[in-house]
């Protein structure tokens, strides 16, 4: 007798590159000025938004992935409800991020979908609470946590420490990470490998970052709508 078991459909399969693209998209927002912020004069917004405009091919190059791979990741993330495409969005900032949903995925899902593993001792990019851009009461681990390979952050030289696997290979093979993407990746790595106490602090730091990203995204959206209306 053969039993047929129906496996529930949990929606799109978000892969490591998709999470990397999500991280980079939010990182772009976090690299923008936060409040208190003086709104741009209308005449200055043309230069501001057009200087950041990127085609899909340019976005793919910026992230260090193929254009086909970027389109596939965008499609997966939109289907998963992590990104959404509004009718009007700031040029060059990619799809609109559903930040509450992104918080659930980054804070709780990635830890199990892309677990961190220690792989020895060597030189690499400091991550977790060893990222000096994270302002937290947590004491950074000593020896530090690092991602093996050359640093992809200009302001973060390699250090010797305990090596862990990156969230995705493009963290190492791709172009330099922006400060916003670097701090977000580091918090995510702290979530991936942290014990209960570190995990709680890392999730708190993640919420702060995503709250900041929400403020910036809302501001950009409003300014871009005003710019498009002129």
Which pLDDT tens digit goes with each residue over 194-222?
Answer: 888 889 999 999 999 999 999 999 888 88
Which pLDDT tens digit goes with each residue over 54-77?
Answer: 888 888 988 899 999 999 999 999
Helix (H, G, I), strand (E, B) or coil at 126: strand
Nearest residue to 167 (alpha-carbon basis) of 24, 12, 68, 13: 24
Output the CA–CA distances (angstroms, integers) from residue 216 to 27, 46, 135, 219, in the order listed.
11, 18, 19, 5
Confidence of residue 10 (pLDDT cuts 50, 70, 90): very low
pLDDT at 215: 93
Q: Provide the mean pLDDT of the chain.
A: 84
The domain spans of the chain are 16-32+44-229
């Amino acid at each position: 007798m053969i039993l047929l078991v129906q496996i529930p459909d949990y929606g799109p399969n978000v892969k490591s590159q998709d999470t990397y693209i999500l991280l980079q998209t939010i990182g772009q927002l976090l690299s923008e000025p936060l409040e208190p912020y003086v709104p741009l004069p209308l005449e200055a917004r043309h230069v501001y938004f057009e200087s950041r405009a990127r085609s899909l091919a340019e976005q793919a190059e910026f992230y260090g992935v193929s254009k086909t791979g970027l389109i596939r990741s965008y499609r997966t993330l939109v289907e998963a409800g992590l990104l959404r495409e509004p009718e009007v969005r700031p040029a060059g900032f990619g799809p609109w991020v559903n930040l509450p949903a992104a918080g659930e995925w980054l804070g709780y899902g990635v830890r199990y979908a892309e677990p961190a593993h220690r792989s020895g001792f060597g030189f690499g990019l400091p991550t977790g609470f060893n990222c000096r851009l994270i302002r937290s009461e947590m004491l950074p681990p000593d020896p530090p946590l690092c991602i093996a390979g050359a640093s992809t952050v200009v302001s973060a030289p390699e250090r010797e420490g305990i090596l862990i696997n990156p969230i995705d290979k493009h963290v190492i093979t791709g172009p330099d990470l922006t400060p916003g993407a670097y701090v977000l990746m580091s918090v995510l790595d702290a979530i991936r490998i942290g014990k209960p106490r570190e995990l709680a602090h890392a999730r708190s730091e993640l919420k702060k970052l995503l709250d900041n990203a929400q403020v910036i995204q809302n501001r950009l959206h409003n300014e871009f709508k005003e710019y498009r209306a002129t």
